[in-house]
Amino acid sequence: MVMNEVKSSAIKAVGFDPRTREMAIKFTSGDVYVYEGVSLIDYAELMNAQSKGIYFHNNIKPCYTGQMVL
């Protein structure tokens, strides 16, 4: 999955696979989480959000299961 760097104080990069609907998020801490079943709309809205951290905390974290990648 290709990770695209983003401008955010909380998130360093985001990747999305529309076939599997998996979204990977690399946080500025260095931790990487993969979220399953993410809609294309939520991915697009995250990428276009003024504050990606706020969008993540309001719309991704409470709605999708995330697994930390080691």
DSSP β-ladder status, 22-27 and 11-17: antiparallel
Question: In the numeric block, which tokens belong to residue 27?
Answer: 């946080």
The rounded percent of the chain whose pLDDT value lies above 70 is: 100
Q: Is the pLDDT of residue 70 over 90?
A: no
Question: In the numeric block, which tokens belong to residue 60?
Answer: 């991704």
Mean pLDDT of the chain: 97
pTM: 0.93
Residues 6 or more apart in contact with residue 42 via CB below 8 angstroms: 23, 59, 60, 63, 64
Q: For 44-56, what is each residue's pLDDT tens digit?
A: 999 999 999 999 9
